[in-house]
Structure formats: structure tokens, C-alpha cells
């Protein structure tokens, strides 16, 4: 499948309807994804921007040959070395081995590290360009958005930004343009993508957007490497990224727990009722971490001003769904969010202290340094303590 983005740019990627996990098993993608590759004809010369994931390499080459004789590709641009974009390079370069590959210096290292090939690398820096005849492709390094090698490029004349992973979504759709798809679905996937992939790099997101805006280049379209193309009001997603990168939070608290015999679940619900009493406007969401999608919970944490994390004690530790989630939260380096812990215990009772430590390590400011521990299954008195704890949390989250 291929389609024209405009008269000069053709999409030659792959819609992966079956994909449900990305980055190995790390990231859920409920609506599949797309790997976007673009063929740019500039009058005299033709450039291919990125390829697609290795399992589809043969299909990619077959489809690409229907659009162009491969020998007519003058330049290959590798905006990012991660294998969902570079995975078809070995197959492609077996057919056109001398074609220059434009990427950053870090991209050369990364591509060599992945494929151990001595391709015709042409390292570029911000401001370098290639002449396509009537148009140019200008390169902009985008270090840590989201890998050291990441790069954007910009097509003059057509005023199209190709930002690779930035502004993408894991969202399979035959429509492929932002104005044609369901807006709720689109933004649900865009914010999940930001929360789970770009959160740790928010400072760089802000700085890079300011840098690119400072270049005063008109942007008529944004063609990311995943999901739909931003054709209608393309700067809407840039403005959204500025918002998300700036310690984003909604008026929301998320209670995340795991439970063995329902004690910690009952505590979670009692805490929720206390929060509601003290702070009636806040959106309270509860998730059993063992029964919910971890990446969807991460998105809810991203949207929250505070979280509560609960686990009973087991074997002097905590339940593994909570341990796993907190490890992910630590890596994402959330900023300016509050946290609190709770959990049942029968004898040793370490869970709350452990969760407090994990919350602090992940950058959450503790609302209550002790947290709330309940001995055995909460009785009426313990449930009342949970409600009181919820009131304290709710009051602390009034902005
Ligand atoms: Fe879509 Fe960083 O790869």
C-alpha cells in the first residue's frame, strides 16, 4: 500500500493492525500502529525518509518497487536508528548498496551497533541540507527525542516537518490523516504515547519546540513516523506537546492498588470516599494494577496531580504488579506530583514503608510520611481511618 501525501511526497509505510505490544512486551498498543516511511521527490533528486520494522522488510521492498525503481532513490534519510524505522535498511541496502544514508553522528554509531554494516553514512548536523532540485531537506538534530540519535527533517517548498517519533501515535487507521479520524481516539493514543515514551524527556521537548519555532519555518504538515499525519491545523499537536511537557496535570487523583483478599481494595474505596468528601471536584480513578493495563495506568498517572499506591505485605515485600508499576514510574521521572501509600498486613507489615520509598525515589512528594497501614482485614474502625486518610489526601490536592 502507498498513498500520496501531496504531489511530491508519497507514504510508503506499513499499517500494522495486529500489533498489541511494542518495545518487546513493554508498551501496550491497543489500536495497532503504523511505521511511516516517506518518499520525497524534489524535481531532480529523490529521498526516502526512514524505513519500517524488520518483520515487514520484504513486503516494504516489494511495495516500494511498485512506486519507484530503487535505483532512482538518491538519498536515504535515517531520522532514527531504532529498529521500527531502520529495520528494513539491510534489505534495502542489499539492493542499492552505495546509496548515501544521512543521519546524525549518534545515528551512525547506533546503526552500526544494530546492523554491523559499513554503509555509505553521511553524518549531518542541525542546519545541514540536501538539495533535491526544486526543494531542500533541512536536518535538525533532536537529541533525546527520544534517543541520542533522533533527528527531524524539514522539506522546503512543501513546508513539511518529518519529526520521526515526536508527535506520533500508536494508532492504526486507513484514513492516515488527523482530520479524518475520530478525535477522541487520536488524542487518547497521542497522550498515551507521550506519557509512556516522552515524559522523561519533557525538558528537551520544550527546548526543541522553541528552537524549531524560532527558525520561523512555515509548517503546513507534520509527518511523524507513527500514526496519522497532522494535516489540519498541524500545530495543534505542537501546542499540546508544550502543554504536556510543562508538568502537565489535570484535576485528577489516581488510586492504584493490588489486593489478595480484598482488604487493600476495600481500603482503596474507603480512601476514595474520604477524598470525595474533602475535595468534591477532583476526578478520582481506581485501578487494580494486576487487572489493568500498566501503560494505561501510566497515562492516568501522567494526568494526575496525585496518586495513592496500595499493596498488602507479602513475604516482607509488596505484590509484584505494584513493584513493576513503580519501577516504570521511576524511569519516567514524573515531576511535581504528590503521592501517598497504604496497605494491609498480617504480621511483618513492610509494604507501606516500601511503597513510600518507591514513591520518593520516583519523584513523588509524600503527602503523609507514614502512610496508612491496616492490620488484617479492615474493620469498621480501620475503614474510618481510611476515610480520614482520604480526607487528608483530598485536602492536600485542592489547588
Ligand atoms: Fe518509533 Fe524510537 O522508535
Q: How far is the CA of 86 from the centre of ligand 1 (A)?
A: 9
- pLDDT category of residue 23 using cuts at 50, 70 and 90: very high
The 10s digit of each residue's pLDDT in 374-383 is 999 999 999 9
Which has more pLDDT, 293 or 1?
Answer: 293
Using a 10 angstrom Cβ sphere, with 0-12 exposed, 13-18 middle and 19 or more buried, the burial of residue 291 is exposed
Ligand 1 atom nearest to 150, measured from its CA: 2
d(CA 101, CA 79): 10
Nearest protein CA to atom 3 of ligand 1, as residue: 82
Active site residue ranges? 23, 80, 82, 84, 146, 165, 193, 226
Please name which of 158, 233, 159 lies closest in space to residue 8, comparing C-alpha atoms.
Answer: 158
pLDDT > 90? residue 201: yes
How large is the average pLDDT for residues 235-253? 98
The 10s digit of each residue's pLDDT in 284-337 is 999 999 999 999 999 999 999 999 999 999 999 999 999 999 999 999 999 999
CB-CB contact of 52 with 35 (8 Å): yes
d(CA 145, CA 222): 16
Does residue 170's CB lie within 6 angstroms of at least one atom of ligand 1?
no
Percentage of residues of the chain with pLDDT beyond 70: 100
Nearest protein CA to atom 2 of ligand 1, as residue: 82
Can you give the pTM of this predicted structure?
Answer: 0.97
C-alpha cell at 330: 521511576
Does residue 189's CB lie within 6 angstroms of at least one atom of ligand 1?
no
Does residue 8's CB lie within 6 angstroms of at least one atom of ligand 1?
no
pLDDT > 90? residue 198: yes
Quote the pLDDT of residue 399.
Answer: 78
Hey, what CATH topology would domain 252-396 get? Rossmann fold (3.40.50)
CB-based contacts of 313, cutoff 8 Å, min separation 6? 343, 344, 345, 346, 348, 349, 350, 351
Using a 10 angstrom Cβ sphere, with 0-12 exposed, 13-18 middle and 19 or more buried, the burial of residue 180 is middle
- Supply the DSSP string of 318-361, one letter for each residue: --HHHHHHHHHHHHHT--S-EEEEEEEESSS--HHHHHHHHHHH
The 10s digit of each residue's pLDDT in 50-92 is 999 999 999 999 999 999 999 999 999 999 999 999 999 999 9
C-alpha cell at 23: 518495545
Does residue 80's CB lie within 6 angstroms of at least one atom of ligand 1?
yes
Length of the chain: 399
Ligand 1 atom nearest to 165, measured from its CA: 1
Does residue 82's CB lie within 6 angstroms of at least one atom of ligand 1?
yes
Nearest protein CA to atom 1 of ligand 1, as residue: 165
C-alpha cell at 360: 520518593
Quote the pLDDT of residue 327.
Answer: 98
Mean pLDDT of the chain: 97
Q: How far is the CA of 90 from the centre of ligand 1 (A)?
A: 17
- pLDDT category of residue 273 using cuts at 50, 70 and 90: very high
Q: How far is the CA of 217 from the centre of ligand 1 (A)?
A: 25
Q: How far is the CA of 264 from the centre of ligand 1 (A)?
A: 38
Q: Which CATH number fits domain 3-245: 3.10.290.10, 3.90.1640.10, 3.60.15.10, 3.40.50.300?
A: 3.60.15.10
Does residue 225's CB lie within 6 angstroms of at least one atom of ligand 1?
yes
The 10s digit of each residue's pLDDT in 118-146 is 999 999 999 999 999 999 999 999 999 99
- pLDDT category of residue 217 using cuts at 50, 70 and 90: very high
Q: Which residue ranges make up each domain of the chain?
A: 3-245, 252-396
Q: How far is the CA of 149 from the centre of ligand 1 (A)?
A: 11
Ligand 1 atom nearest to 146, measured from its CA: 2
Amino acid at each position: 500500500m502507498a498513498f500520496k501525501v501531496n504531489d511530491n511526497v508519497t507514504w510508503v509505510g506499513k499499517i500494522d493492525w495486529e500489533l498489541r505490544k511494542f518495545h518487546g512486551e513493554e508498551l501496550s498498543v491497543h489500536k495497532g500502529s503504523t511505521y511511516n516511511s516517506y518518499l520525497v521527490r524534489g524535481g531532480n533528486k529523490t529521498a526516502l525518509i526512514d524505513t519500517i520494522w524488520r518483520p515487514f522488510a520484504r513486503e516494504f521492498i516489494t511495495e516500494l518497487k511498485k512506486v519507484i525503481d530503487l535505483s532512482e532513490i538518491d538519498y536515504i534519510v535515517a531520522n532514527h536508528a531504532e529498529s521500527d524505522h531502520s529495520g528494513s535498511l539491510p534489505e534495502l541496502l542489499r539492493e542499492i548498496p552505495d546509496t548515501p544514508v544521512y543521519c546524525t553522528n549518534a545515528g551512525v554509531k547506533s546503526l552500526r551497533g544494530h546492523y554491523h554494516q559499513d554503509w555509505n553514512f553521511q553524518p549531518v548536523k542541525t542546519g545541514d541540507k540536501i538539495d533535491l532540485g526544486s526543494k531542500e531537506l533541512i536536518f535538525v538534530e533532536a537529541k533525546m527525542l527520544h534517543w541520542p540519535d533522533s533527528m527531524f527533517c524539514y522539506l522546503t517548498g512543501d513546508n513539511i516537518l518529518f519529526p520521526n517519533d515526536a508527535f506520533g501515535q500508536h494508532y492504526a487507521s486507513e484514513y492516515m490523516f488527523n482530520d479524518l479520524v475520530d478525535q477522541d481516539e487520536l488524542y487518547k493514543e497521542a497522550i498515551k504515547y507521550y506519557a509512556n515514551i516522552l515524559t522523561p524527556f519533557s525538558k528537551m521537548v520544550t527546548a526543541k519546540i522553541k528552537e524549531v519555532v524560532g527558525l520561523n519555518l512555515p509548517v503546513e504538515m507534520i509527518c511523524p513516523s507513527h500514526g496519522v499525519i497532522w494535516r489540519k491545523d498541524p500545530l495543534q499537536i505542537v501546542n499540546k506537546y508544550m502543554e504536556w511537557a510543562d508538568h502537565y496535570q489535570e484535576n485528577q487523583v489516581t488510586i492504584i492498588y493490588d489486593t489478595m483478599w480484598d482488604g487493600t481494595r476495600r481500603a482503596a474505596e474507603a480512601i476514595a470516599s474520604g477524598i470525595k468528601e474533602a475535595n468534591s471536584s477532583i476526578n478520582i480513578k481506581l485501578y487494580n494494577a494486576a487487572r489493568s493495563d500498566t501503560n494505561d495506568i501510566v497515562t492516568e498517572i501522567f494526568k494526575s496531580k496525585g496518586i495513592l499506591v496500595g499493596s498488602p505485605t507479602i513475604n516482607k515485600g509488596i505484590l509484584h504488579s505494584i513493584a513493576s508499576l513503580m519501577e516504570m514510574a521511576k524511569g519516567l521521572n514524573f515531576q511535581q506530583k504528590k503521592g501517598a501509600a497504604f496497605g494491609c498486613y498480617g504480621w511483618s507489615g513492610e509494604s507501606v514503608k516500601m511503597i513510600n520509598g518507591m514513591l520518593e525515589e520516583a519523584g513523588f512528594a509524600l503527602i503523609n510520611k507514614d502512610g496508612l497501614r491496616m492490620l488484617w482485614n479492615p474493620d469498621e474502625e480501620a475503614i474510618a481511618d481510611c476515610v480520614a486518610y482520604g480526607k487528608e489526601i483530598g485536602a492536600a490536592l485542592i489547588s
